[in-house]
Amino acid sequence: MKYGHFDDSKKEYVITSPKTPLPWINYLGCESFFSLISNTGGGYSFYKDAKLLRLTRYRYNNVPYDNNGRYFYIKDNGVTWNPGWQPTQTELDSYSCRHGLGYTIFESSKNDLAASVTAFVPIGDNCEINKLTLKNNGSSDKNIDIFSYIEFCLWNAVDDASNFQRNLNTGEVEIEPGVIYHKTEYRERRNHYAVYGVNAPVAGFDTDRETFLGAYRSPSDPEVVEKGAATNKVASGWSPIGSFQLKATLKPGEEVSYVFVLGYIENPKEEKWEALNVINKKRAHEMLERYNTTEKADVAFKALCDYWTNLLGKYTLETEDDKLCRMVNIWNQYQCMVTFNMSRSASYYESGMGRGMGFRDSSQDLLGFVHLIPDKARERIIDIASTQFEDGSAYHQYQPLTKTGNMDIGSGFNDDPLWLIAGTSAYIRETGDFSILDEMVPFDNKVELAKPLMEHLRRSFNFFDNAKGPHKLTLIGRADWNDCLNLNCFSDTPGESFQTTGPSEGPVAESVFIAGMYVKYGNEYADLCEHTGLNDEAKEVRAKVAEMYKAVTTAGWDGEWFVRAYDANSNPVGSKVCEEGQIFIEPQGMCVMAGIGVEEGLAQKALDSVKERLDTKYGIVLLQPPYQRYHLELGEISSYPPGYKENAGIFCHNNPWISIAETVIGRGNRAFEIYKKTCPAYTEDISDIHRAEPYAYAQMIAGKDAANFGEAKNSWLTGTAAWTFTNVSQHILGVRPHLDGLIVDPCIPDTIKEMTITRHFRGNIYKIHVNNAAGSQKGIKKMTVNGKEIEGTLIPFEANQGTVEVEAVM
């Protein structure tokens, strides 16, 4: 069952019923000011940091869910309704919500009155614009009252939701005609406030929540709206809100538009005040002036659309399969940008109050957006590397505002260092910019400890010289990619963090997954050494990699698949000798991606075992059989009920590893089958089962052992976005950046007979036409570049070529 449809010509998903199984959201903003917006107008706004600089309040865990947003109450002939259906839930005559790239449009109608709301954050500004248009489609005049509504957050979202003894006293606003300023804490240490304005004369305003709603009422039936008259009350403490009342008289066929702006204003300390306790409004006035006509708002909207068209033009695919094209050209890349902007902070599953930037998560996110915004990727790499310790280990997380490491979580996640090599090597392959390796980058954020980035990569790799276990495999530390495989934790106290508890980081427990990474990213590091003249070092690195390869194919091989790990007692995890958790997905994907066992036939065996034991109709589960009881020696993984999250859920992040691994051994049909199983455009038809947005990847889909098999959770902020895009663009479609140029080596299903990929790369535009009339799955038979035949699959890079025509025959 579906709740809408894709409109590829506009790059939108059009939701046609407000009663989606879960709120289906979109993101507004691509620089500093961001908003979440659901298909019923719910969500909230923040500036840079969702925890510390939250402009509007959101209620979590509420009933009904998705409570609080930017709302417009339209009162027409005694009937009150919202264009987004919530919060009144008045049945609408028509409804649609179009989620587009950086904007959302509601189009609804009731009793011959049509309303549309266009919500977006303009490029280059710190505000959300809501353009509201009303049109009388009836045959008599209409006298309409409009009430807008937002609820302010007192900036720090955690404090706002907990520190009531203080916060109910601090709320302050200032008012001007058509403008409400939220200035809580501005009198003391803040030099920022929120401004909320509308570009038309208002009939009144409200700023105190209880006065607006009425005692014991909710946004679903505000008293002021019921009575039809704003109170002009100036909030003092309690809960400040922003609401305007507007009155419109519309003749048949007539329409009117208003522009509402919610903005963030920061003043230099010395320019905070106009007079005692009167805030300096100059910047706010300037902002409101930038959008004080519908024409100006429309120009800003157009600029936003152009921004996205231009950005997503960097990699485009034309082929017969519409679903594949829309994911590659629109939604997958869009989600990669959202993970760049949000990391793991703010979604409808991540509260925006918790996690900072993850070392491992952000490094992997890079893989998905480096081709779109290479300059920002460069900055991100430097930020991440600056939180590394001198011994090569790293803070697991850092704060987005201060960019310093998070002491509470500390370090000890032994996969982290290698992800830095992964991200940096992806950046250099994309850009050819080796100069980043000479960039001086601090250790532990201490400038005095700065060393060239190359030294950081070296220490990432060499970290494992002293971090190998009894089987000569890499030590796991607190956890590797699988945050829930906590082999040194042994927690039996409720509430303890599985990730930070433990007697030590453990001298025994080993990870075959990290060993696979060591081989893959060790080789990539050696490539960088060779390209920068460090040939001796490259040789040493390759020798160490070869030893690890050997350890993986011996101690790390279980007969039919790769072992997952060895625990603190050196017992295998993810082996046929285990009672539960006999086979895990991660080492099969990572080891084969690293090329381990391809020649020996182990790779194919491992992938066949994945198909036989882990595959389901909705995707590949993380492990089998699931853990039925809590294992002290394994940690959080066994804390989840079977089929959820890391305990045998379909963890979408690692499905593309298996798909990529299949391309390594040339099985294009299988690679594509795996790709499709978790791909939103292909699962749209089962939206009632899947429940999450059909245009975004979710972190997890409940596995076959769960009661709700096939149900997705944690949509949007997941490494799945980056890895699925890496998979489909570089391995299935096969257009892959290499240090020396661009590789064209598709591994596709035999049903794709023809495709054209347009790829911007280091200033050139490659138009790559692939002819697969033969119905092959892998292997280029012949390739010409601007009419000249070349050997192999690598198009050597030459600068300033303009458009390069590539013809490849499979």
Stretch that binds ligand GLC, among 31-39, 134-142, 265-273, 475-483 (CB under 6 A): 475-483
Per CB under 6 A, which region of 100-108, 355-363, 554-562, 759-767 contacts ligand GLC? 355-363
Nearer to ligand GLC, 360 or 429 (CB): 360
| Least distance to ligand GLC, CB of residue 484, Å | 5
Smallest gap from residue 500 Cβ to ligand GLC (A) = 10
Question: Is the Cβ of residue 75 or residue 645 nearer to ligand GLC in the bound state?
Answer: 645
CA distance 414 to 481: 9
Binding characters for ligand GLC, 653-692, by CB under 6 A (x = yes): ----------------------------------------
- State which of residues 110, 360, 667, 762 lies at the interface with ligand GLC (CB under 6 A): 360
Near ligand GLC in 227-256, by CB under 6 A:
none
User: Is the CB of 523 or the CB of 654 nearer to ligand GLC?
Assistant: 654
Phi, psi dihedrals of residue 212, rounded to the nearest 5°: -70, -45
Report the nearest approach of ligand GLC to the CB of residue 416 (Å): 10
Min dist CB 621 to ligand GLC, Å, is 14
CB 315 within 8 A of CB 347: no
Q: List the one residue from 66, 636, 693, 705 that touches ligand GLC (CB under 6 A).
A: 636
Question: Shortest Cβ contact with ligand GLC: which residue?
Answer: 483
Looking at beta carbons only, is 257 or 343 nearer to ligand GLC? Answer: 343
Report, in Å, the least distance between residue 73 CB and ligand GLC: 39
Q: Name residue, tokens 């455009």.
A: 681
Cβ proximity to ligand GLC, 583 vs 721, nearer residue:
721
Q: How far apart are CA 130 and CA 153, in angstroms?
A: 19
Q: How far apart are CA 118 and CA 396, in angstroms?
A: 39
Cβ proximity to ligand GLC: between 365 and 745 the closer is 365
Cβ proximity to ligand GLC: between 11 and 360 the closer is 360
Nearer to ligand GLC, 28 or 706 (CB): 706
The answer to the question of residue 358 lying near ligand GLC (CB under 6 A) is yes
What sign for the dihedral angle of Cα 379, 381, 387, 388? negative
Alpha-carbon distance of 713 to 566, in angstroms, equals 30
Q: Residue 783 is encoded by which pair of tokens?
A: 């390739």
Under rule CB under 6 A, residue 335 binds ligand GLC: no
User: 355 or 759, CB closer to ligand GLC?
Assistant: 355
| SS3 state of residue 495 | coil
Q: How far apart (Å, rounded) are the C-alpha atoms in residues 501 and 349?
A: 24
Q: Which stretch binds ligand GLC (CB under 6 A): 278-286, 366-374, 478-486, 671-679?
A: 478-486
Give the H/E segment covering residue 208: strand 204-208
Tokens coding 424: 């940096």
The least distance separating ligand GLC from the CB of residue 481, rounded to whole angstroms, comes to 4
Query: Which among 117-125, 218-226, 354-362, 563-571 is the span making contact with ligand GLC, rule CB under 6 A?
Result: 354-362
Secondary structure class of 202 (helix, strand, coil): coil
Integer Cα distance of 421 and 417 in angstroms: 7
What is the per-residue DSSP string for 76-94? ETTEEE-TT-TTTTPPPSE
Size of the site for ligand GLC (CB under 6 A): 14
Of 206, 416, 483, 615, which one is the catalytic site residue? 483
Cβ atoms of 631 and 587 within 8 Å: the answer is no
Answer yes or no: 125 catalytic.
Answer: no
State which of positions 481-510 bind ligand GLC (CB under 6 A): 481-484, 499
Q: Nearest approach, Cβ of 771 to ligand GLC (angstroms)?
A: 39
> CB of 84 within 8 A of CB of 68?
no
Q: In a 3-state reduction of DSSP, which class is residue 648?
A: coil
Between the CA of residue 558 and those of 512, 566, 601, 605, 623, what are the distances in Å? 11, 12, 14, 11, 15
Q: Least distance (Å) from ligand GLC to the CB of residue 357?
A: 11
Give the x-and-dash track for 595-634 against ligand GLC (CB under 6 A).
----------------------------------------
Q: Which lies closer to ligand GLC via its Cβ, residue 209 or residue 478?
A: 478
CA dist 601 and 639 (Å) reads 35
Question: Exactly one of 110, 142, 182, 645 binds ligand GLC (CB under 6 A); which one?
Answer: 645
- Residue 489 Cβ, how far from ligand GLC at the closest point, in Å? 11
- The window from 260-268, 293-301, 353-361, 688-696 that contacts ligand GLC (CB under 6 A) reads 353-361
Instruction: State which residue, 482 or 575, has the beta carbon closest to ligand GLC.
Output: 482
Q: How far is CA 230 from the centre of its chain?
A: 40
Straight-line distance from the first to the last Cα atom of the chain, in angstroms, rounded to the nearest whole number: 38
Contacts of 739 (CB under 8 A, 6+ apart): 428, 429, 432, 527, 528, 531
Residue 473: half-sphere exposure toward Cβ, Cα within 13 Å: 31
Residue 106 to residue 98: CA distance in whole angstroms: 6
Query: C-beta of 701: minimal distance to ligand GLC in Å?
Result: 13
- Cα-based distances in Å from 264 to 268, 463, 788: 14, 44, 56
Longest dimension (CA), the chain: 86
Work out which of 283, 344, 564, 677 binds ligand GLC, going by CB under 6 A: 344
Q: Tell me the window of 214-222, 440-448, 477-485, 743-751 that interacts with ligand GLC (CB under 6 A).
A: 477-485
Name the H helices within 684-753.
687-690, 720-725
Kind and range of the H or E element at 425?
Answer: helix 416-431
Token pair recorded at residue 682: 């292909």
Rounded to 5 degrees, φ, ψ at 534 are -95, 65
Indicate which single residue of 26, 257, 683, 699 sits in contact with ligand GLC (rule: CB under 6 A): 699
Do 693 and 26 form a contact (C-beta atoms < 8 A)?
no
CB of 717 to ligand GLC, least distance (A): 8
| Residues in 3-32 that interact with ligand GLC by CB under 6 A | none
Q: Which of 361, 537, 684, 711 binds ligand GLC (CB under 6 A)?
A: 361
What is the Cα–Cα distance from 311 to 309, expressed in whole angstroms? 6
Distance CA(572)–CA(555), nearest Å, equals 9
DSSP 511-552: EHHHHHHHHHHHHHHHHHHHHTT-HHHHHHHHHHHHHHHHHH
* Nearest Cα to Cα of residue 299 among 342, 331, 346, 259: 259
Return the range that interacts with ligand GLC (CB under 6 A); candidates 122-130, 161-169, 270-278, 358-366.
Answer: 358-366
Smallest distance, ligand GLC to C-beta of residue 384, A: 13
x/- contact string, 705-724, with ligand GLC (CB under 6 A)? -------------x------
Pick the stretch among 13-21, 166-174, 214-222, 476-484 that binds ligand GLC (CB under 6 A).
476-484
Residue with tokens 């906590």: 486
Q: Binding of ligand GLC at residue 455 (CB under 6 A)? A: no
The Cα–Cα gap between 677 and 615 comes to: 10
CB of 271 to ligand GLC, least distance (A): 41
Of 82-90, 460-468, 479-487, 567-575: span binding ligand GLC (CB under 6 A): 479-487
Distances (CA, A) of 622 to 588, 590, 646: 11, 13, 6
Cα 457 to Cα 388, 436, 441, 472, 532: the distances in Å are 10, 12, 11, 21, 13
The per-residue DSSP string of 24-47 comes to -EEEE-SSSEEEEEETTSB--EEE
Taking the least distance from each CB to ligand GLC, the nearer of 75 and 344 is: 344
Q: Residue 66 or residue 646: which is nearer to ligand GLC going by CB? A: 646
Q: Under the rule (CB under 6 A), what is the footprint of ligand GLC?
A: 344, 358, 360-361, 481-484, 499, 636, 645-646, 699, 718
Catalytic residues: 483
